[in-house]
Amino acid sequence: MPARSTAQRRLLKEYQELSRDPPEGIIAGPANEDNLFVWDCLLEGPPGTSYENGVFSAVLTFPKDYPLSPPSLKFDPPILHPNIYADGNVCISILHPPGEDPNQYERAEERWSPVQSVEKILLSVVSMLAEPNVESGANIDACKLWRDDRKKFEEIVRNDVKKSLGL
């Protein structure tokens, strides 16, 4: 068996930790045993939000130099949210490359660093669902809807929740 890379060893360790003690409402692990760099995730919508009772499927893709570089997370199917692009890709500080933000929206300590973990990423994404950052939106249409017609926004999200449950 070939020697595992640093990234593979780290991902295996994180998977074992998540399996032993998963955070409530989060299930994640490699999509298949032969590739530790692509994980399937199920995230429960946070209670008290329009996403409540939803179970949303996402794919976490890790770069070969993980943990030096951040993974990417994509909801599949996409869900409506100000910080999720229309194609399902998540835009959140913790998944942005380390260092200073060229746009100066984020402090360096809010961005990716190798001390972050899969668990912290997924908890941050669930928290983002509950509290969107409309000042730095990824999906401009969702931001406008959130600000200008919250009732319509919540109606669309409730439909996303129903779809997530196969209803």
CATH of the domain at 55: 3.10.110.10
58 within some domain: yes
Check pLDDT > 80 for residue 105.
Answer: no
CB-count burial class (<10 Å; 0-12, 13-18, 19+) for 36: buried
Q: Which of these is catalytic: 41, 91, 118, 143?
A: 91
What is the count of structural domains for the chain?
A: 1
Q: Is residue 1 part of a domain?
A: no
138 domain residue, yes or no: yes
Average the pLDDT over 107-128 and give the result: 85
Answer whether 56's CB lies under 8 Å from 79's CB.
yes
Burial 109-118 (b: 16+ CB within 10 A, else e): eebbeeebeb
Domain annotation covers residue 148: yes
In a 3-state reduction of DSSP, which class is residue 28? strand
Q: Measured between alpha carbons, how far is 124 from 98 in angstroms, rounded to an integer?
A: 16
For the chain, what is the mean pLDDT?
Answer: 90
Q: Does a structural domain hold residue 33?
A: yes
Is residue 65 in some structural domain? yes
Question: Residue 154: what pLDDT?
Answer: 96
41 catalytic? Reply is no
Peptide bond into 2 cis (omega under 30): no
Task: Give the model's confidence band at 42: pLDDT under 50 very low, under 70 low, under 90 confident, else very high.
Answer: very high
pLDDT at 102: 58
- pLDDT category of residue 1 using cuts at 50, 70 and 90: very low
The mean pLDDT of 132-154, rounded to a whole number, is 93
40 domain-assigned: yes
Q: Within 13 Å and on the Cβ side, how many CA atoms surround 130?
A: 13
Parent domain of 67: 6-164
Average the pLDDT over each of 24-28, 114-118, 160-164 and give the range with the smallest value.
114-118
Q: For residues 89 and 103, is the Cβ–Cβ distance under 8 A?
A: no
pLDDT computed for residue 104 by the predictor: 56
Output the furthest CA–CA distance in the chain (Å, rounded).
57
Average pLDDT rounded to a whole number, residues 3-23: 90
Q: Which structure tokens are listed for 141?
A: 């249409």
139, part of any domain: yes
Each residue's pLDDT tens digit, 58-103: 999 999 999 999 999 999 999 999 999 999 999 988 887 776 665 5
Amino acid at 6: T
Give pLDDT, residue 116.
87
